[in-house]
Amino acid sequence: MDFGFTGEDDLFRAEARAWLTEHASGGLDRRSWERALGKAGWIGLGWGEGGYGNRSATLTQQVAWAEEYARSCAPPRSGHIGENLLAPTLLAHGSPEQKGRFLPAIAAGDELWCQGYSEPGAGSDLAGIRTRAERAGDGTYRVTGQKIWTSLAREADWCFVLARTDPGSSRHRGLSFLLVPMDQPGRIEVRPIRQMTGTSEFNEVFFDGAHARVEHVVAGEGAGWRVAMSLLGFERGVSTLAQQIGFAAELGRVVRAAVDSGAVGDPVVRDRLVRQWAELRVMRWNALRTLGSSRDAGASSVAKLLWGGWHQRLGELAMQVRGTAAGVGPVDWSVTAPYELDAFQHLFLFSRADTIYGGSDQVQRTIIAERVLGLPKEAKGVV
């Protein structure tokens, strides 16, 4: 399937590749890298209509940039939550004042964001959240509750928080989408969560009367569920294609390891390698088919099911081609290095979460069953 890149797109891609080749290995810290991207005009592509972003770009040019970024092995982005999740949500639902306040700062790489959705008792079942936001008399809300699995919370300047503003409400009613500043000592506490990989990308966030301004409620009080669902749709957009470039690179490394170890001589391993390659092509075609379309209610759920399971199977395959060596760390154990993993071990352990975070496989299948296939909802209390 040809996505139909034009000659203009090819020039845009060449410009992106040249800039990344020159700057991607500059040794900048993550915040400085975001500002470098912003200064060069690479954040906020396609926001040009409202004048909030850095440059205009067609959908195909946004895809070209995302693919070149993934191919360049540039530093991981700290600003992608603000750029790819909050920004399109504000463009769709935000007031002119909210757009003018927050979008230019995201496009410049000056303000970083995190996402306050999941809670200990409301992960995939987002409608069960208990974090509350109570209206105060000084034009603010007081936010109290706990969020979990919050990526980049330690770096973020702001958090978009889904909270219950109607104390008598339940499920998806009475929720609001608030923009909350993170720099509130004594009112906001961030605790890193140590994972199986030994790293701490995720965090717990505790709100104890944190302040949020009334004018920073997106789409008005009570519209939180609608805004939150809109944002989840943006989560599976252009970035999915860039993600697949990274997946292809990981698959290439697994294939090379299979050749080097001799595992490729096993017909079962060869079959699994070919299946991984074929399924990755299917994921790309599916992403291109649905890109920019809002008519397919199940598109985002299908995409999540495809890539979550695929990446998890790739981690398992990486261990298989390594054989017994997969059970041994890259360095000898020591007090200073008690938990070292190589790239394949990290891939295997981290990908165990792929079918859980961002909406578990079970929840995605329920969405497809109810919203696409029109099947009846599961009866309450049935075991």
Please state the rounded mean pLDDT for residues 338-359. 87
| Residue of 198 and 255 predicted with greater confidence | 255
| pLDDT band for position 111 (cuts 50, 70, 90) | very high
Q: Is residue 272 very low, low, confident or very high in pLDDT (cuts 50, 70, 90)?
A: very high
Mean pLDDT, rounded, for 112-127: 84
Per-residue pLDDT, 383: 46
**pLDDT on residue 106:** 95
% the chain with pLDDT above 90: 50
Q: What is the pTM of this model?
A: 0.84
Is 380 a residue whose pLDDT tops 80? no
Please determine, for residue 342, whether its predicted confidence score (pLDDT) is greater than 80.
Answer: yes
- Asked whether 190 and 205 are in contact (CB, 8 A), the reply is yes
Averaged pLDDT for residues 158-167: 93
Residues identified as active-site: 235
pLDDT bin (cut points 50, 70, 90) of residue 330 is confident
Contact 47, 107 (CB under 8 A): yes
Q: Residue 1 — pLDDT band, cuts 50, 70, 90? A: very low
Which residue would you say has higher pLDDT here, 214 or 127? 214
Higher pLDDT, 162 or 4: 162
Average pLDDT over residues 232-253: 77
- Condensed to tens digits (0 to 9), the pLDDT of residues 277-294 reads 999 999 888 887 777 655
Task: State the Cα–Cα distance between residues 321 and 253, nearest whole angstrom.
Answer: 11
Amino acid residing at 272:
R
Residue 196 confidence (pLDDT): 85
Per-residue model confidence as pLDDT tens digits over 51-91: 676 788 888 888 889 889 888 888 888 998 999 889 989 99
Structure tokens at 300: 């985002």
